[in-house]
Amino acid sequence: LCLCALSVEPNSIRFARFTAAELEELTPQLINASKVLALKPHSAAALENYNLFSRTYKSFVDMLQTAMDDLTDSTDLLITYEELLRDDLVSCENQASARQIAALMRDAKTFIAHGSRVCSFLLADLQFYGLHGNAVDKITSEIGAIQERFLTQFSAAAKETCRRIKANEAVPINLIHHAGETVMDRFQDLRETLEVLFGQRRTTLDSTRTSAPSDDFSRRGDGDLASTTSL
């Protein structure tokens, strides 16, 4: 929870740390419940006990994810996930070279999950700030393209590689590499656009603390950046 040290929101910090502490306490209990269920798979009591801890654990994980989202800056998240995606892509290429189908599909799913997670977070962030305008429309369109086109193309590349491995054909490593790099290039372009958008947004908000709102600002008070951002 290193992000807590960078945040200035005390309530969010307390909630995140409380939730993390609860998860730490629940973890050994969930493990024990799963062991009991493994030893007594036909026990209704063991199953009920496991389900209780499992549901509670999942609930706290969801709460912690929400709390960390509140503490996370969009551009910082993108920088972190770009590194994760890079590692995922390297793993996929290594598994393809080793002709390991199961491991390749596992790592490809991880790559796609990380990419989808970023897209969901960014869309929620834009909605939270209530931003509008041409720049936001462009960002939303780019996120949609990543979700619906480029991640799908990466999945197809991984499946095609697995098909060729099964058929004992040559493995096209460059196919996965190109599809993965395309996704990462899109995220990098998106990060640069967001840095401009949110940087300008923060500048506008900061200026209101030191000067009275002008007529021009009052027209943009709802977060419409169409007149201030041209991308």
Question: Domain spanning 74-207 has what CATH number?
Answer: 1.20.120.230
The CA distances from residue 182 to 60, 116, 186, 220, in Å, are: 35, 15, 6, 35
What is the torsional sign of CA 124, 125, 130, 136? Answer: negative
What percentage of residues in the chain have a pLDDT greater than 90? Answer: 46
Pinpoint the residues of the chain covered by CATH 1.20.120.230.
74-207
SS3 223: coil
Q: What is the pLDDT of residue 9?
A: 58
| 8-71 placed in CATH 2.30.29 | no
d(CA 51, CA 49): 6
Ordered per-residue pLDDT tens for the chain, 231 residues? 444 444 445 666 777 788 888 888 999 999 999 999 999 999 999 999 999 999 999 998 888 877 766 666 677 778 888 899 999 999 999 999 999 999 999 999 999 999 998 898 888 777 766 667 777 888 889 999 999 999 999 999 999 999 999 999 988 778 999 999 999 999 988 888 887 776 644 443 334 333 333 343 333 333 333 333 333
In the chain, CATH 1.10.287 covers 8-71
pLDDT of the residue at 225: 34
pLDDT of 179 reads 95
Nearest CA among 154, 177, 35, 201 for reference residue 94: 177
CA–CA distances in Å: residue 194 to residues 105, 175, 224: 31, 29, 15
State the pLDDT at residue 220. 32
